[in-house]
Amino acid sequence: MLDSLPVRVLDDRYRDEVLAILDAAPLSNVFVSSRVHQAGLEPGRLGAQMWGYWRDGRLESLCYSGANLIPVNAGPDAIRAFADRARVQGRRCSSIVGPAGAVRELWGLLEPYWGHARAVRELQPVMATSRPSEFPVDPYVRRVRMEDFEVVYPACVAMFTEEVGVSPNAGDGGVLYRARVAELIRAGRAFARIEGGRVLFKAEIGAVTPHACQIQGVWVHPESRGRGLSEFGMASVVQMSLRDVAPAVSLYVNDFNVRARAAYLRVGFTEIDEFMSVLF
């Protein structure tokens, strides 16, 4: 039945076409683009399917279907086609995330079949910068090393729980989340200010392409909030990211997190797009 839908699962034959679509908005498409650059399009390597939607014989739109369902460059016709395929196969993702208009339309088509979401983040500004911050850097923010793991991991759990509303240790006891944190540390993409065996500030680079990288997991210890550690820490992470990782840095943040949005603006980020997330 799936093969009769106007959507096809893509493989490596379409890699160049897929990257051309993703690179048309490199700062907004960092996550999906990073996965394709790293693993290609074969589902076994990608850990997901990449759905393609054609118009007049040309690949026009994409939808990453894995732990996240992410529409890319998808107009109303593509959204309807992606929703049909997602509805037929059943929900396999833990979230729908992407451009606000597309996600809102996609969720409107899927909600009657998938039921209510645990949380809906209606508006999440996407922010980016390609210049080092004029804000002073924090000289104590550094790359995390594996010997720091047991100190940093509780901070990662606290951030995830605050942001998502559930602990990453639920279900499998944190096996997958611990592996992901360790992976980022080994890749040199985790940063923190650690004092007295306690993390005061932390952030990670969750995705990297030749064009941009995406910061995630920004967190300040509750007892240290209101002291500017977020701004100083982010200035440091931006500086190291632009120097060592990619020519631009992006992130997205909940619109109701007024303090974080203001901090990122002070560091030099500007708002370039709007995301929406549906969490299950």
Cα dihedral value 255, 260, 265, 269, nearest 10: -80
Q: Which 3 state secondary structure label does DSSP give 161?
A: helix
Per residue of the chain (280 residues), give pLDDT as tens: 444 458 999 999 999 999 999 999 999 999 999 999 999 999 999 999 999 999 988 999 999 999 999 999 999 999 999 999 999 999 999 999 999 999 999 999 999 999 999 999 999 999 999 999 999 999 999 999 999 999 999 999 999 999 888 899 988 888 999 999 999 999 999 999 999 999 999 999 999 999 999 999 999 999 999 898 999 999 999 999 999 999 999 999 999 999 999 999 999 999 999 999 999 9
Residue 88 CA from chain centroid, whole number: 26
Looking only at the bridges linking them, the beta strands covering 213-220 and 49-55 are unpaired
Asked if residue 181 lies in contact with residue 174, where contact means CB atoms within 8 angstroms, the answer is no
- Give the helix ranges, DSSP H, for the chain: 15-23, 30-39, 43-46, 76-89, 100-114, 149-164, 175-186, 229-244, 258-267
Query: What is d(CA 16, CA 1) in angstroms, rounded to the nearest whole number?
Result: 28
Nearest in space to 241 (alpha carbons), one of 201, 160, 187, 178: 187
Q: Length of the chain in residues, anyone? A: 280
Structure-token pair, residue 26: 């490199």
Residue 97 CB neighbours (<10 A): 21
Buried b (16+ CB within 10 A) or exposed e, 7-29: bbbbeeebbeebbebbeebbbbb
Stated pTM of the model = 0.91
